[in-house]
Every structure is written in C-alpha cells, then in structure tokens.
Structure 1
C-alpha cells in the first residue's frame, strides 16, 4: 500500500498542478506499423516449429488411435493452467495466438469439440494477464512499466478495439513521462497517452478509468502548452473527472484530483481571471468550499493514511479562515503513518504548523 500511495501522490500532483491555464488516432494500426515486422518474423519461425510438431504428433495419433480409448474433453482446469503459465512469463515476447496455445498444446480425438469458454465467473486469460500487468503499472519500476507497455502494445494487435488495453497504454505513457525531466520526451509520451485514451473513449465512454486517465494525461500536458490552451485543457480536465466521478463515486483518487483542481482554480486572483477572460477565454470556476468537500470525500474513501490529502484539507481550511481546524488537519498529517514521495510535503506541513499553531 505505501508504494501505491506514493504513485498516487506522484501522478495526481503532476496531473492537477498547472492544469489551469487532443487529436486522437486509433492506435492499433500505429502499433502494427511499429512492431509487426519483428513480431511476424518471430511468429513465422515459431509457426514452422509448431507445424512440424503438429505433423509429428498427428502421425503418432493416427498410429495410436486404434489402440487407445477416446480421451475426455479438456476442462477449464487446463485453461487455468495455461493462463497461469502465461502470467508467469515476464519476457517481452510477442504474445501471439500461436504462442498462447503452444504452452499447453494437447491433442484429443479429432471428433471432439473443445470447450475453451471460461465458466461463469471465471476470469479469462486476458483478464489474468491484465491483473499481472496492473501490478507492474501500479508498483513496478520504470523498467517494469516499459515492459508492461510493450506487452500491452502487442496485445492490441490481437485484440483491436479493446479499451482495457488502450487506457492502460495511456496510463503507462503517463508514468514513464512523469519520471523524466526531458520536456520533448515528456511531451511525446503524454501525446501518445492522450491518443490512446481518446481511442478508448470512443469505444467505452461509460468507463470511469478511461475518463480518469484521459484527465490525468490532459492535466500533465497542460504544463507544456500556452495559457490559452491551458484554459481549454482545464475545462477538459474537469469535464472528464466529473464524468468519472458520476460513474464511480467511490474512487477516492478522483475526489482528490477534483479537490486539488478546485483549490488551484479558487486561488486565482480576480485580475488573473479578468486578464484570462479578456485574452484567452473564460477560465474554470470553483470555491475553496467545493475543493474541501471533495478532499474530505477522498479522505473518507481512501483505504490508507494519505498525508498529502490531509495537507490539502488544511490548506483549504486556511484559505477559508478556519485556522483552528486547519491546525488539527496539519497535526493529523504530520502524525500519519503514511509515507510521502517528496520531503517537501513534510516541510510544508511543519512550516504551516509553525505559522498557524
């Protein structure tokens, strides 16, 4: 949980701070062009080996068919065995259909029809793979995330139009971008991530994770664009976080994102709003009370000690002139058992305590 906590602080901070202030292409063909040549070469070689093995096995089967009884159909247990074999494979091999089948290749009477559908309630092979990749995306190193991204891209070739793959591709690009200080590299990764999530939105507009990661990427990209674009990105960010919360109101990270966003918007000076309206368009609007409401919701829903969220609640209370409550939240933050990704959080908490205690 601490590792997940740190990752949340990292991506939420990067997505929201600076959001004040999109053109998608379907990625399947893009990834096909980038990776198909090498993937096809691997598959052709593997296919030749598998065909030779199949030919030999069929010859043996014909010779033995009259001597052995008909074997029963394969049950879902063998499918589970196959899925577990795939999950344990952490190499960057191209996960083609041939490779998925070759790990558990068995032959039965040719008149039998094999039941490969998962039983009701049983996860599919793809679900198990995604669960494995989610661990890498949430708690892994940059190398783990890069590896997960390559696997997701390969899976897109076999599962075109799968939004579960597309939004995770966007998530991976964001996490890789967040670890770099190279603006050109960051811009490229965020752009690719936005394209992936836009494609996912066109397929699954009712999915909260798709809206959330699109908003996160837009928020981070706003640091790299003009003031006029930043204001447009701010409206886009809030729109998609609002939609995500309406779909999944129990997601604490969404409430924290919207609370931080509202806090930044509420902090705009009146003359900053006037200048923005005159030259760049009407900026988003929000109040400290709205920000505090969302942060309190995040505090209630989060299953861990969230130091950074407590700090944000205290900052809202200070902005509203409720200093005694602010000190209470600062003390809760400094005494919390959670860890922070950045020492600056603890420094800010102690500075505010000295000032308002």
Structure 2
C-alpha cells in the first residue's frame, strides 16, 4: 500500500472515530426537553471554564450525586469525558442510570438511548485501563441488565451470563463493596428460583436458557454484604432469610427475618419487603419446635454444638 493510501486510510479512520465521539457527546442535548436549565449564559460559561483539575471535577460531581442532582453530575463530568479516565467514565454511566431510574415519565426510546450512551462510556473505560476497576465492572453489570431488560426478556436472558461475570469480577476487585455483593447474591437467588418449566419455556421461546446458580452461592454473597453493613439493609436481611429457608436452615432464617421486620422501612419498596418478611416469619412460626428442629441438620451436627 502506498504512503498516500496509508495516510488517507488513517485520516478516514480518525475522522470516523471523532465523528462517533462527537455524536455521543451531543446525544443527550434532548435532555433539555425534560430538564429546564435556569442558569444564565454567564453562569454556564463559568461552569464550563472553571479550570478545575480532573480530581476536583470528580469531587464536585460526587457532591452533586450525594444531593441527588444527577443531571448536574452528567453535565459536570461530560465536559472532561474526552480524557477517557475510567473514574470519570463510570461516574457518567452511573449518572445516566440514575437519570433513567429517577424520571418515570421518560419514553422508552429515551431510556434506551441513555443506556446505550452508558454502555459506550463503560466500553471506553475498559479500553483505557478500567479492566481492573471494580466500579467499572459493577456498573457494566447494572447497565447491561437494565439496557437489555428495556429491549426484551430474550436479550436480558442472553446477556445474563455476562452480567454475572462482571458482578463476580467487581466483588473480587473490591471485597468491601456492599452493593456488588448484594447484587451478586440477589442475582444468584433469582436464578435459583427459576423452575425447570420456566427454563424450558425460556429455552424454546428465546433459544437461550437462563444460567444456573446455587442457593449456597447466593448465601455466600448475601452474608458478605451483611458483614459489610450489619443489621441496616432491609432488602439484604430479607433475602438472607429467604435463602436460608431454601437451604432448610430455618433457625438462621428466623434470625435474619426477625432483624428485617424490626427495621423501619424508608420507602414504599421497603414497606413491601417488610410485609413479605412478616409473612415469611408467620409461616416459620408454625414450626417453632426449637433450634434442632428448625435448623435442617441431616448429618446430626446440632447435638455436638
């Protein structure tokens, strides 16, 4: 290939890459339809030319995140996204996810576009040193499941093994991340609950069988999550109780469920979980025969404790 052809090839390649990034940069200009900007032009210029370092910009964005100002997080980080720093990129993906989940009136097309943008920035993060970043893996799992869940159940099933891989990697890279361990425990529990009939239906309707897991695996991750935030997260305590019931460890199940029902629900979703925990507790009360009877012990270890 001549030097002229090589130069022309690289010029075209660079143009296409820049054009793709430019398209993604402008992809969310339509968000102004949903969020009214009250800043004056002068205030906007100050925001975009504040001469902050990458670290200072991240700190500013994290403060917005703590206050639930997710659009401000996106706008703040989007200004420096071309540095391709994984710490910036996964936060952009998180902001897009939060914007998606916190605005119920958004159309499906808008939600899908936002998740596509989030996938794009996470892929950039992986290509720029994010392969060993626990947050990049965790948010890739969240965005994959959300994105393909918006498309249809077939895509969600097909990509669920990839979701699992990213969650496992996130837990390996950061053993102190409560959210990653809780999500992995919940994912395992949900896979275990699928009946053989549901698996057959999924296999023949969608040509993809859901991945399998074990309740022991779910218990392992949920227990680690509980160790990280003991007696504080209602959803995790309830799932631990349910998992122990499935494992036949009824004494442990009652312990976790009792902790769950004593926590004050923070929102409507937690009220529903608390109600389920109460219902499961009442079912177990029928078999209140003492520790040896409540704790499934086929090998007879209880007598030696």
Q: Equivalent residue for 2:162?
A: 236
CA RMSD of aligned residues (A): 2.7
CA distance 1:154–1:281, change in 2 (3 Å): same
Runs of 4+ in 1 over 3 A off after TM superposition: 25-28, 30-36, 91-96, 336-341
Matched, 1:307 2:234: yes
1:321 corresponds to 2:272: no
The whole-number CA distance in structure 1 between the counterparts of 2:54 and 2:155 is: 38
CA distance in 1, matches of 2:44, 2:216: 48
Query: 1:295 aligns to what?
Result: 222
Q: What count of residue pairs does the alignment treat as equivalent? A: 252
Which of 51, 60, 66 is 1:100 aligned to?
51
Q: Which string of whole-angstrom CA distances, capped at 9 and with x for unpartnered residues, describes residues 64-96 of structure 1?
A: xxxxxxxxxxxxxxxxxxxxxxxxxxx654655
Q: Distance in 2 between matches of 1:93 and 1:149?
A: 16
TM-score (norm 2): 0.74
Equivalent residue in structure 2 for 1:345, among 247, 254, 273: 273
Distance 1:31 1:184, change over 3 A: closer
Provide the secondary structure at the position in 2 that maps to 1:100.
Answer: coil
Normalised to the residue count of structure 1, the TM-score between the two structures is 0.64
Conserved 8 A contact 2:189-2:243 = yes
Q: 1:53 maps to which residue? A: none
Residue equivalent to 1:261: 187
Matches within 5 A, 1:194-213: 194-203=119-128, 204-213=130-139
Unaligned runs of 5+ in 1: 1-24, 37-44, 47-90, 102-124
- When structure 1 is superposed on structure 2, of 189-198 and 254-263 the one drifting more is 189-198
Structure 2 stretches lacking a partner, 5+ long:
1-16, 30-40, 286-305
Find the counterpart in structure 2 of residue 30 from structure 1: 23
Instruction: Confirm whether residue 222 of structure 1 aligns to residue 148 of structure 2.
Output: yes
Q: 1:55 is matched with which residue?
A: none
1:320-356, Cα deviation, whole Å (9 max, x unpaired): 2322321211111122367456221222222222222
CA contact (8 A) 1:307 1:340 kept: no
